[in-house]
């Protein structure tokens, strides 16, 4: 059995690395690949090892998905907002530092996650009815904080509502996506347009600065504080229904101002993504709620022992941490690359991926999202207000309006 579990961790680590390094590919996609080979893998490895492989892929993805967002400015559903300060550091020649900050945030979150996992498992199920009822109200308060803390509340409200309308439309008609990657795959073109292509289209000329090899310049207390904030946000979205990692990052945005705390935001959002993976597992075990495609497959094949799958996830996290640091070394190859040419090349690649993964409807959402994503820079408000695309549908769903 030990050999099969180790094989499961290695398979999950490989798949999570691939999904994290390719923009637009989520761990859910890799879960689909495992499902396609399910009968053979179950016969060879057994259900516990396949379950560990699935969860390992999800955990490793939360580490490695910072690499394309940092170096190329292309987000996936989990890195939509953190791409902004991370890519900015890369444009200052500090891309490796941004990747290391992200890896540290995810790693430190593990120290906070385990106690929360036990608390969630044993104490929150009895309060779930009250939590569900207050979800919409809580998100409305958070949206208000997001808007009122901006430079121009009027324009921020307009961008928030505009992106929210686009999000409602995208989720309402997500069934038009022509592929089997699931309704949640509409997040790929939606967030790529809002936070990726719209930024790359305004890329300046010149060349990418030489990347300096350096460790993360952050104090231990600051690292723990920001990782703790991120873990808390990840805990909220990992347990509450209808929320995603993108929403967790939006929850953090009112606590940070642009500029000096960009590094803290990178740490916090990475911690939130990793914490969300583990506490989403807690929600599946305690409530039977499936927070993503990986959890759906886990429920289908039969949940392994919780201690076994958690141990596999921790081992995968260690692997993901090392792999992310190694990938961060790739920053040195970017020095001197023409910025505009690289931006256009990345736009072409992610547009092709959007078409392959989501079809014509996804392309329509991508174009609309890109147009909306250009608005914040025109009216001089923070791009985080575009998270209305995720928050507004969740609010309406929670209040039984949508």
Residue 391 has pLDDT above 90, yes or no: no
Q: Which pLDDT belongs to residue 317?
A: 94
3-state secondary structure of 214: coil
Residue 180 has pLDDT above 50, yes or no: no
Q: Which pLDDT belongs to residue 389?
A: 87
Q: Which has more confidence, 120 or 310?
A: 310
Where do the structural domains in the chain lie, given as residue ranges?
2-398
Residue 31 has pLDDT above 80, yes or no: no
Is residue 7 packed enough to be buried (19+ CB in 10 Å), middle (13-18) or exposed (0-12)?
A: middle
55-59, 257-261, 279-283: range with lowest mean pLDDT: 257-261
In 94-135, which ranges are E strands? none
3-state secondary structure of 255: helix
Averaged pLDDT, 207-218: 72
The per-residue pLDDT for range 320-333, each reduced to its tens digit, is 999 999 988 877 77
Is residue 286 very low, low, confident or very high in pLDDT (cuts 50, 70, 90)? confident
Is residue 238 very low, low, confident or very high in pLDDT (cuts 50, 70, 90)? low
28-42, 259-273, 325-339: range with lowest mean pLDDT: 28-42
Q: List the structure tokens of 339.
A: 């910025």
Q: Which pLDDT belongs to residue 378?
A: 87
Q: Which residues contact 236 (CB under 8 A, 6 or more apart)?
A: 243, 248, 251
Residue 179 has pLDDT above 60, yes or no: no
Is residue 260 very low, low, confident or very high in pLDDT (cuts 50, 70, 90)? very low
* Alpha-carbon distances of 40 from 12, 31, 37, 79, 261, rounded to whole Å: 16, 15, 6, 33, 48
Q: Which pLDDT belongs to residue 4?
A: 83
Nearest to 75 by CA among 208, 250, 277: 250
Angle, in degrees to the nearest 10, between helices 153-172 and 128-148 = 140
Is residue 399 very low, low, confident or very high in pLDDT (cuts 50, 70, 90)? confident
- In whole numbers, what is the pLDDT of the chain averaged over residues? 78
Q: Which has more confidence, 43 or 279?
A: 279
Is residue 259 very low, low, confident or very high in pLDDT (cuts 50, 70, 90)? very low
């Amino acid at each position: 059995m030990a050999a099969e579990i180790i094989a499961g961790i290695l398979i999950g680590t490989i798949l999570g690395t691939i999904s994290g390094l390719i923009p637009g590919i989520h761990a859910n996609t890799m879960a689909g690949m495992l499902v396609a080979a399910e009968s053979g893998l179950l016969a060879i490895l057994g259900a516990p090892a396949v379950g560990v492989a699935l969860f390992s892929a999800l955990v490793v993805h939360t580490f490695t998905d910072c690499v394309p967002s940092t170096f190329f400015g292309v987000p996936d559903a989990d890195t939509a907002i953190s791409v902004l300060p991370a890519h900015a550091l890369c444009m200052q020649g500090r891309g490796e530092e941004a990747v290391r900050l992200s890896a540290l945030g995810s790693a430190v979150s593990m120290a906070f996650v385990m106690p929360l996992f036990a608390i969630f498992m044993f104490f929150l199920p009895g309060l779930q009815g009250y939590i569900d009822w207050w979800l919409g109200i809580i998100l409305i308060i958070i949206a208000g904080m997001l808007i009122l803390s901006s430079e121009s509340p009027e324009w921020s409200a307009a961008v928030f509502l505009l992106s929210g309308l686009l999000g409602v439309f995208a989720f309402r008609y997500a069934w038009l996506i022509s592929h089997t990657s699931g309704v949640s795959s509409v997040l790929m073109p939606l967030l790529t347009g809002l936070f990726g292509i719209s930024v790359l289209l305004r890329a300046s000329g010149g060349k990418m600065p030489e990347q300096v090899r350096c460790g993360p310049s952050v104090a231990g207390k600051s690292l723990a504080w920001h990782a703790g904030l991120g873990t808390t946000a990840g805990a909220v979205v990992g347990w509450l229904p209808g929320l995603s990692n993108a929403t967790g990052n939006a929850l953090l945005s009112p606590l940070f101002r642009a500029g000096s705390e960009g590094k803290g935001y990178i740490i916090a959002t990475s911690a939130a993504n990793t914490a969300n993976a583990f506490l989403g597992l807690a929600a599946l075990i305690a409530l039977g709620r499936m927070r993503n495609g990986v959890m759906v497959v886990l429920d289908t094949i039969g949940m392994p022992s919780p201690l076994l799958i958690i141990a596999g996830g921790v081992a995968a996290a260690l692997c993901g941490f090392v792999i992310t640091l190694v990938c961060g070394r790739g920053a040195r190859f970017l020095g001197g690359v023409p910025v505009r040419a690289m931006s256009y090349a990345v736009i072409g690649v992610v547009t092709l991926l959007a078409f392959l993964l989501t079809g014509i409807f996804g392309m329509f959402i991508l174009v609309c999202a890109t147009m909306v994503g250009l608005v914040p820079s025109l009216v001089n408000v923070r791009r985080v207000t575009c998270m209305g695309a995720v928050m507004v549908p969740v609010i309406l769903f929670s209040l039984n309006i949508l």
